[in-house]
């Protein structure tokens, strides 16, 4: 009797500790096979005294049945486990979520491509620059009230005796004199795209935004070239029915200066809630001021040029009828995935 109990307990432990189906299969022969300890007990029944033979036979059978049951339960659990870790190659695939470029990056790519058709090449100038390039070389001497329009962030760092303080560039116009210094002798046809920073925030202003700056310097450049460039850009970027107009304005670094307007895409220039009078402002522009050419060591008697600086977020807003440019930076996937 004790033999059967011990044998049964040993077999139970082995079955329960099998780690996989292969181990369990091997145990079957060991526990239930012809030469197993259980089979030997059955064979030896005849050697027992007749009064205990019957009970011993019943106990052996019971042990066999219980162990079979345990064996099958263990088998089912190992099979289920194996299935859950296996890959079902016939299962339908899960659709991968594909990302895409942010709206601002898409616009930058498109703008660069349009201007490259006119021979402008993309340059990159610092986002943290000296006061000299952001203001002084652009005909805005220290303390000049025109600087206030740029609501600038100044960097808390030592000043340079010649170049002054460091600023987070409030516009891409800092690239103008830098480009003149780099090229030295015109022609110059530059597009400078960069992040800009100003202390502003509302539906049409963000503290960080992007501008693209165009600068063309050559002999005999006139306002007609400026207007033709804007018309080409506008029709390619916004569509063939959109037209531009130049509205007189004032910038210290261009003379004459203009603001550039484009007909509204919603009302086609008739006037609506978005544009009020049929026109939307794209950005600033003008003929490069002789003092700026001089700051870039270019002779204003030989060369003339035009420059413009537009906000990329506003340009996108005008194309997509975005009611608030701050949406571009809220990282809301429901908004971004529409474009």
Nearest distance from C-beta of residue 330 to ligand FA5, angstroms: 15
Contact assessment for residue 173 and residue 149, using Cβ atoms and an 8 Å cutoff: no
Considering the rule CB under 6 A, would residue 305 count as an interface residue with ligand FA5?
A: no
Considering the rule CB under 6 A, would residue 324 count as an interface residue with ligand FA5?
A: no
- Does residue 240 sit in helix, strand or coil? coil
Q: Which C-beta is closer to ligand FA5: that of 242 or that of 314?
A: 314
**How does DSSP assign 281-319, residue by residue?**
EEEEEEEEPHHHHHHTT--TTT-EEEEEEEEHHHHHHHH
Considering the rule CB under 6 A, would residue 281 count as an interface residue with ligand FA5?
A: yes
Rounded to an integer, what distance in angstroms lies between the CA atom of residue 154 and that of residue 117? 37
- Does residue 49 sit in helix, strand or coil? coil
Q: What is the DSSP letter of 46?
A: G
Considering the rule CB under 6 A, would residue 254 count as an interface residue with ligand FA5?
A: yes
Between residue 120 and residue 179, which ones bind ligand FA5 under the rule CB under 6 A? 171, 173
Contact assessment for residue 231 and residue 246, using Cβ atoms and an 8 Å cutoff: no
Q: Which of 102, 205, 227, 319 binds ligand FA5 (CB under 6 A)?
A: 205
Question: Taking contact as CB under 6 A, which single stretch among the options 45-53, 90-98, 103-111, 203-211 is the one that binds ligand FA5?
Answer: 203-211
Q: Which of 108, 292, 311, 328 binds ligand FA5 (CB under 6 A)?
A: 311
Considering the rule CB under 6 A, would residue 234 count as an interface residue with ligand FA5?
A: no
Q: Which of 209, 230, 238, 279 binds ligand FA5 (CB under 6 A)?
A: 209
Task: Kindly tell me the burial class for residue 314, based on how many C-beta atoms sit within 10 Å of its own C-beta (0-12, 13-18, 19 or more).
Answer: buried
Considering the rule CB under 6 A, would residue 230 count as an interface residue with ligand FA5?
A: no
Rounded to an integer, what distance in angstroms lies between the CA atom of residue 115 and that of residue 190? 9
Query: Where do contacts with ligand FA5 occur on this chain (CB under 6 A)?
Result: 171, 173, 198, 200, 205-206, 209, 211, 213, 251, 254, 281, 283-286, 307-311, 313-314
């Amino acid at each position: 009797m004790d033999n059967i109990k011990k044998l049964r307990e040993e077999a139970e432990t082995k079955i329960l500790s099998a780690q996989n189906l292969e181990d369990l299969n091997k145990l079957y022969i060991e526990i239930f096979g012809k030469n197993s300890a259980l089979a030997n007990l059955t064979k030896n029944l005849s050697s027992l005294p007749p009064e205990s033979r019957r009970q011993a036979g019943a106990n052996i059978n019971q042990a066999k049945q219980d162990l079979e049951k345990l064996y099958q339960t263990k088998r089912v659990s190992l099979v289920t486990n194996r299935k859950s870790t296996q890959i079902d190659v016939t299962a339908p695939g899960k659709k991968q979520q594909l990302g895409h470029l942010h709206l601002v990056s898409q616009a930058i790519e498109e703008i660069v491509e349009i201007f490259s058709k006119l021979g402008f090449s993309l340059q990159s100038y610092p986002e943290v620059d000296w006061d000299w390039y952001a203001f002084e070389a652009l005909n805005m001497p220290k303390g000049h009230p025109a600087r206030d329009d740029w609501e600038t962030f100044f960097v808390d760092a030592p000043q340079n005796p010649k170049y002054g303080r460091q600023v987070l560039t409030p516009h891409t116009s800092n690239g103008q004199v830098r480009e003149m210094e780099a090229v030295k002798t015109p022609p110059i046809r530059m597009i400078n795209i960069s992040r800009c920073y100003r202390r502003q925030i509302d539906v049409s202003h963000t503290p960080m935004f992007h501008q693209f700056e165009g600068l063309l310097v050559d002999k005999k450049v006139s306002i007609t070239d400026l207007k033709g460039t804007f018309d080409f850009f506008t029709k390619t970027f916004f569509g063939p029915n959109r037209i531009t107009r130049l509205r007189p304005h004032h910038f210290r670094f261009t003379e004459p200066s203009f603001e550039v307007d484009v007909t509204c895409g919603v009302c086609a220039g008739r006037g609506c809630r978005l544009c009020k009078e049929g026109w939307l402002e794209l950005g600033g522009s003008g003929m490069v001021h002789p003092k700026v050419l001089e700051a870039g060591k270019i002779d204003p008697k030989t060369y003339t040029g035009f420059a413009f600086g537009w906000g990329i977020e506003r340009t996108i807003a005008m194309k997509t009828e975005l009611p608030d440019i701050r949406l571009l930076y809220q990282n809301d996937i429901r908004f971004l995935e529409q474009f």
